[in-house]
Amino acid sequence: MREAVVDASVAAKWVVEEAHSAKATLLLEFETLHAPSHWRAEAVNVLWAKVFRGNLTATDAEERMAVLMRAPVIDTPVAELMPRAFAISVAHSVTIYDSLYVALAQQRNIPLVTADERLIRLIEGDAALGKLMRWVGDLSGLGT
């Protein structure tokens, strides 16, 4: 079964044309995608930023937000992940928001696909967690 954790940096690429958007879209063919329940807020924040910077109209952003709200992602409650996410955050100087994705990938023992190269750099030194990290631009080994 092809499954992965996806973070907001990847989900935003489903509705905004950016580098590696085509690769991110391939993930929608997976049987199961997972994310902590806050992922939609983070992904919609990307749309807000694009409206704020003048790269999207509010109407365009609202249409794209509606697509994100229907995305086939299974949400995991943040409270369930928080203890492990906090430990990851402290150990690796990663935000709690990002650590929630890492904690979910570890809990489910499946890859975390991200477009956040900084997150990958911070986590890759940890042998157990580093093996779960996948950069969206290089989805080899995930069946894509």
Note the pLDDT tens digit of each residue in 12-25: 999 999 999 999 99
Report the alpha-carbon angle 38-43-45, nearest 5. 100
Determine the pLDDT at residue 138: 87
Core vs surface per residue 51-82: b (16+ CB within 10 A) or e: eeeeebeeeebeebeeebeebebeebebeebb
Q: Which of the two residues, 86 and 139, has the higher pLDDT score?
A: 86
Residue boundaries of the structural domains of the chain: 3-135
What pairs with residue 135 in β-bridges?
114
Predicted confidence band of residue 140 (pLDDT cuts 50, 70, 90): low
Is the confidence at residue 141, as pLDDT, over 60? no
Give the domain 3-135 fold: Rossmann fold (3.40.50)
